Amino acid sequence: MSLNTQTISSLREQLSAGDISPADILDSLAENISKSDVGAYLGHDLDCAKHEATSVDLTKPLGGIPIGIKDNINVNGQPCSCASSFLENAYRAPYDATVIRKLREAGAIPFGRMNMDEFAMGSTTENSALGKTINPHDVCRAPGGSSGGSAAAVASNTAIATLGSDTGGSIRQPASHCGVVGLKPSYGRISRYGLVAFASSLDQIGPLTRSVEDAALVLNAIAGHDSADSTSLKQDVPDFTEGLSDGIQGMKLGLPKEYFGDGIHPAVREKIDHTVKGLNSAGAEIVEISLPHTEYAVATYYILATAEASSNLSRFDGIRYGNRVENPDDVLDLYRRSRAQGFGPEVKRRIILGTYVLSSGYYDAYYNRAQKVRTLIRQDFLNAYEKVDAIISPVSPNAAPLLGADKDNPLQQYLADIYTISANIAGISGISVPCGAITSETGSNLPVGLQILGPSMGEQSLLRVARAAEVIQQS
């Protein structure tokens, strides 16, 4: 078996035994990247990674394992463009994000910059200003987004594992569309220091991997309190691999009736139902629950997220850093033209919407009201977790969309996030695990993901359920 197709745990065994070296893994990845037409990478520096590999401690938990990094996470000395023309060739990170420091402390090697929707705003990775990423399972389809490059790289065997960010489903949705595991940890579980902010109260970094065990291994490395991030919680970090295979006998799993309406593609529903039956057979009790404020989630999310984006992206003004137009007439002309040329259509759309909902006369009607609904949505989940240990749902109503399908209808893309955004609003943990594939009209097999949602700081039990679902899929 080629090294680039293996799991972290398998490679770690070989590295520990001295059968392979980190350079062997890097060479295997580089060879496959050169042959791939998926477009998952914005760039990679093989020589730099090999140099770093010479000094890694192979006794560490991730010793010698290359990890791909989404292009909105700072790695010292590397470009961090957020797939935007505004930062292309204009910014190199002067420091490591906390998750990168922690990866290095665990022996991992950051390798490559993964494509994404510009500033993480999008659901298909088609909003990248720097290149197109396609779905490895069907060249006519999108990989999902905004962490589309991170998911496509793992699915196409051009990465062993990657980091992504999830603001409204941006890890789980591309993981589902590409057939890999994608974990969104609880808000505050992982430091956001060094992550370029989209919506600060919603953003969370997490891993995309080939297996649930690999996701737990990466989570072990990057979780923990960080004094550099005021939203980082002081919580003990358990060994997330512990108890993975203990089974789910006696656990209660909730099916929210609001997530199983008419909007789901029948073939997707069939795959979810099959896995739910398997979880029931494995000893879990399946309970119908209600999350009554789900119908307000999309509107709430797109008010809160765009408001925070408007504030966060105001720093990109053509003066402090990033691309700057030449010969401006005055300061206002500099702002206007730099931002007009630097930002893509979707980023502009969200900045405008966010500025509107925060503006005088509309703040109470939109932003303040959305914050109140956010509290109601969070309470829905708190009430549900009094009855169940985890919640089961689809990740997306459909499999991967055709490239360009919703180019002129951004609202349709927003609605496709209906099952994922509530987890970010509530700050809880979530994961996408492959649960089969459906056949498209062109004959390709398109992956389907099962979403499992756990309470805040409930990653251990969440991963147990995810591992049980993975076993069902493999049997």
Q: Contact at 8 Å (CB) between 166 and 207?
A: no
How sure is the predictor about 264, in pLDDT bands with cuts at 50, 70 and 90?
Answer: very high
Q: Is the dihedral of CA 456, 458, 459, 461 positive or negative?
A: negative
How sure is the predictor about 302, in pLDDT bands with cuts at 50, 70 and 90?
Answer: very high
Among 60, 161, 66, 160, smallest CA distance to 106 is for 60
Q: What is the pLDDT of residues 40-69, one digit of tens each?
A: 999 999 999 999 999 999 999 999 999 999
Q: What is the pLDDT of residues 144-201, one digit of tens each?
A: 999 999 999 999 999 999 999 999 999 999 999 999 999 999 999 999 999 999 999 9
> Quick check: 411 pLDDT over 90?
no
**What CA–CA distance (Å, rounded) separates 197 from 31?**
33
Q: What is the pLDDT of residues 193-242, one digit of tens each?
A: 999 999 999 999 999 999 999 999 999 999 999 999 999 999 999 999 99
Instruction: Please report the pLDDT score of residue 261 as a whole number.
Output: 87
- Residue 340, judged by CB atoms within 10 A of its CB (0-12, 13-18, 19+), counts as exposed
> Which residues are part of the catalytic machinery?
70, 146, 170
Per the structure block, which two tokens stand in for 318? 């053509």
Instruction: Please enumerate in sequence order all residues whose Cβ is within 8 A of that of 401, keeping only pairs 6 or more positions apart, or say none.
Output: 124, 141, 142, 416
- Residue 62, judged by CB atoms within 10 A of its CB (0-12, 13-18, 19+), counts as buried
**What CA–CA distance (Å, rounded) separates 202 from 225?**
17
Measured in whole angstroms, the distance separating CA 9 from the mean position of its chain's CA atoms is: 21
> Quick check: 408 pLDDT over 80?
no
Per the structure block, which two tokens stand in for 64? 């010698």
Alpha-carbon distances of 460 from 12, 167, 466, rounded to whole Å: 22, 21, 10
Q: What is the pLDDT of residues 330-379, one digit of tens each?
A: 999 999 999 999 999 999 999 999 999 999 889 999 999 999 999 999 99
Q: Contact at 8 Å (CB) between 68 and 140?
A: no
**What CA–CA distance (Å, rounded) separates 49 from 268?**
40
Query: What is the CB-side half-sphere exposure of residue 233 using CA atoms within 13 A?
Result: 13
How sure is the predictor about 383, in pLDDT bands with cuts at 50, 70 and 90?
Answer: very high
The more confident residue out of 272 and 442 is 272
Among 293, 319, 278, 317, smallest CA distance to 475 is for 278
Concatenated DSSP letters of 74-93: --TTSB--TT-TTTTTT-B-
> Quick check: 441 pLDDT over 90?
no
Instruction: Please report the pLDDT score of residue 453 as a whole number.
Output: 98
Query: What is the CB-side half-sphere exposure of residue 347 using CA atoms within 13 A?
Result: 29
Instruction: Please report the pLDDT score of residue 200 as a whole number.
Output: 97
> Quick check: 407 pLDDT over 90?
no
Angle formed at CA 203 by CA 114 and CA 351, multiple of 5 degrees: 90
Please give the order of strands across the beta sheet that includes 390-394: 41-43, 109-114, 66-70, 162-165, 205-209, 181-184, 429-439, 445-454, 390-394, 252-256, 285-289
Instruction: Please report the pLDDT score of residue 415 as a whole number.
Output: 78
What is the residue-averaged pLDDT of the chain? Answer: 96
Q: Could you identify the residue written with the tokens 């059968």? A: 19
Beta bridge partners of 141: 402
Q: What is the pLDDT of residues 109-133, one digit of tens each?
A: 999 999 999 999 999 999 999 999 9
Measured in whole angstroms, the distance separating CA 150 from the mean position of its chain's CA atoms is: 8
Instruction: Please report the pLDDT score of residue 71 as a whole number.
Output: 98
Beta bridge partners of 446: 438
**What CA–CA distance (Å, rounded) separates 278 from 286?**
11
The β-bridge relationship of strands 181-184 and 390-394 is unpaired
**What CA–CA distance (Å, rounded) separates 266 from 81?**
39
The pair phi, psi for residue 115, each rounded to 5°, is -65, 160
3-state secondary structure of 307: helix
Q: Where are the domains of the chain?
A: 3-222
Among 71, 154, 150, 68, smallest CA distance to 103 is for 68
Number of H helices, E strands in the chain: 15, 11
How sure is the predictor about 287, in pLDDT bands with cuts at 50, 70 and 90?
Answer: very high
Q: Could you identify the residue written with the tokens 């720093």? A: 315
Domain covering 3-222, topology:
Amidase signature (AS) enzymes (3.90.1300)
Q: Is the dihedral of CA 345, 347, 351, 354 positive or negative?
A: positive
Q: Contact at 8 Å (CB) between 148 and 403?
A: no
Instruction: Please report the pLDDT score of residue 192 as a whole number.
Output: 98
